[in-house]
């Protein structure tokens, strides 16, 4: 058993021990909401007016604050886009596309084929299809934003919506940033990569439930996973380096880095807390910081109300619909 606050406090301390200071972008988002003109300010491009940023010799940290602030701002639109465009069948269940690069050749709509597949294949198909579904929704969100930006540009009046302005500032910041250019990241690739990580962790939570609490009914596992979300949210507050190292050390991260693999039985990330909820084990925490890295914001989705819950709702509903818990219980 583990105390609920063990992971969050230990993770924060490990960041500090690695020389990393957390910069919350919540108040920068509030500034933008009150005064959208702040989007065009020099302050935003210098880390959103954060005092530590001005003294920092490393501009990469300031770029991270700016980019993650703008993504968090635009993710409210993404959250609403995903919720409204999610394809549902007549039963209200999520309709999954065929994963285009899957080696298994199974259509998720063919329930008999999914049910007959080995557990690891079933998990791979459902995880892969979930990622592909969200990739398509994310592409639609980005296309809408870019179209809106172009609409205002074509008008030639100088007027622009806040979302179009944020899209423009984000795009130009990414293009001008050595940090993001080295990695080859744009708005779409950053969002899709983050989405895959979130989906991977949500599926890992689902797959951990029967490992931690054997011989329960599917409804009990579904309830446990949903009630445990707040225990796992601290992962989204991490620096990217610390997150990746934790996932690797705890067995969540597969060897090829793809979000399509079943959680291994010997994983050490998920444990039960004193209330019987799934929480994170602080033991695999590994201190890490890149040279000259001093600041981190956490995932932009952390600052978007209801966004992480939406992803878990999608994964948990798919797990129930496809009888995943029954398969996992007999694993």
Q: Write out the chain's pLDDT in tens, 331 residues.
A: 555 568 999 999 999 999 999 999 999 999 999 999 999 998 888 776 655 555 555 678 889 999 999 999 999 999 999 999 999 999 999 999 998 888 888 999 999 999 999 999 999 999 999 999 999 999 999 999 999 999 999 998 889 999 999 999 999 999 999 989 988 899 999 999 999 999 999 999 999 999 999 999 999 999 999 999 999 999 999 999 999 999 999 999 988 888 899 999 999 999 999 999 999 999 999 999 998 889 999 999 999 999 999 999 999 999 999 999 999 998 7
User: What letter would DSSP give residue 41?
Assistant: S
Q: At 236, which helix (H) or strand (E)?
A: none
Question: To the nearest 5 percent, what fractions of the chain are helix, strand and coil?
Answer: 65, 5, 35
pLDDT of residue 101: 81
d(CA 200, CA 193): 11
Question: Is the CB of residue 181 less than 8 Å from the CB of residue 299?
Answer: no
Q: At what angle do helices 162-176 and 119-155 cross, to 10 degrees?
A: 110
pLDDT of residue 142: 97
Instruction: Please name which of 214, 77, 89 lies closest in space to residue 149, comparing C-alpha atoms.
Output: 77
Residues counted in the chain: 331
Token look-up 């980005």 returns 142
Instruction: Please name which of 173, 149, 164, 183 lies closest in space to residue 45, comparing C-alpha atoms.
Output: 173
Instruction: Please name which of 260, 162, 275 lies closest in space to residue 203, comparing C-alpha atoms.
Output: 260
Question: Is the CB of residue 92 less than 8 Å from the CB of residue 321?
Answer: no
pLDDT of residue 100: 86
Question: Is the CB of residue 185 less than 8 Å from the CB of residue 203?
Answer: no
pLDDT of residue 267: 96
Buried b / exposed e along 148-182 (16+ C-beta atoms within 10 A):
bbeebeeeeeeebeebbbbbbbbbebbeebebbee
Count other C-beta atoms under 10 Å from residue 93's C-beta: 14
- Supply the pTM of this predicted model: 0.94
d(CA 170, CA 180): 11
Question: Is the CB of residue 1 less than 8 Å from the CB of residue 282?
Answer: no
Q: At 278, which helix (H) or strand (E)?
A: strand 278-280
pLDDT of residue 163: 97
């Amino acid at each position: 058993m583990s105390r609920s606050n063990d992971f969050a406090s230990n993770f924060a301390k490990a960041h500090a021990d690695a020389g990393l200071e957390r910069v919350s972008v919540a108040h920068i988002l509030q500034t933008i909401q009150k005064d959208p003109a702040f989007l065009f300010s020099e302050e935003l491009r210098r880390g959103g007016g954060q005092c530590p940023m001005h003294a920092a010799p490393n501009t990469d940290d300031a770029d991270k604050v700016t980019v993650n602030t703008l993504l968090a701002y635009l993710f409210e639109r993404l959250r609403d886009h995903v919720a409204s465009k999610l394809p549902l069948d007549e039963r209200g269940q999520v309709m999954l596309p065929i994963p285009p690069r899957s080696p298994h050749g199974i259509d998720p709509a063919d329930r008999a084929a999914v049910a007959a597949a080995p557990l690891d294949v079933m998990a791979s198909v459902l995880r892969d299809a979930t990622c592909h579904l969200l990739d398509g929704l994310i592409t639609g969100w980005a296309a809408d934003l870019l179209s809106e930006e172009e609409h205002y540009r074509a008008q030639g009046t100088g007027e622009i919506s806040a979302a179009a302005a944020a899209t423009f500032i984000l795009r130009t910041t990414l293009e001008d940033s050595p940090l993001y250019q080295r990695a080859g990241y744009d708005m779409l690739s950053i969002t899709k990569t983050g989405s895959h990580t979130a989906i991977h962790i949500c599926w890992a939570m689902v797959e951990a439930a029967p490992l931690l609490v054997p011989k329960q009914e599917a409804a009990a596992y579904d309830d446990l996973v949903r009630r445990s979300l707040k225990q796992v949210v601290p992962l989204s507050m991490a620096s990217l380096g610390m997150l990746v190292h934790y996932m690797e050390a705890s067995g969540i991260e597969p060897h090829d880095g793809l979000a399509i693999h079943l959680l291994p039985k010997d994983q050490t990330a998920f444990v039960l807390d004193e209330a019987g909820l799934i929480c994170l084990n602080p033991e695999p925490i590994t201190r890490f910081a890149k040279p000259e890295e001093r600041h981190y914001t956490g995932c932009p989705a952390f600052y978007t109300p209801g966004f992480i819950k939406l992803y878990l709702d999608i994964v948990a509903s798919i797990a129930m619909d496809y009888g995943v818990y029954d398969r996992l219980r007999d694993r």
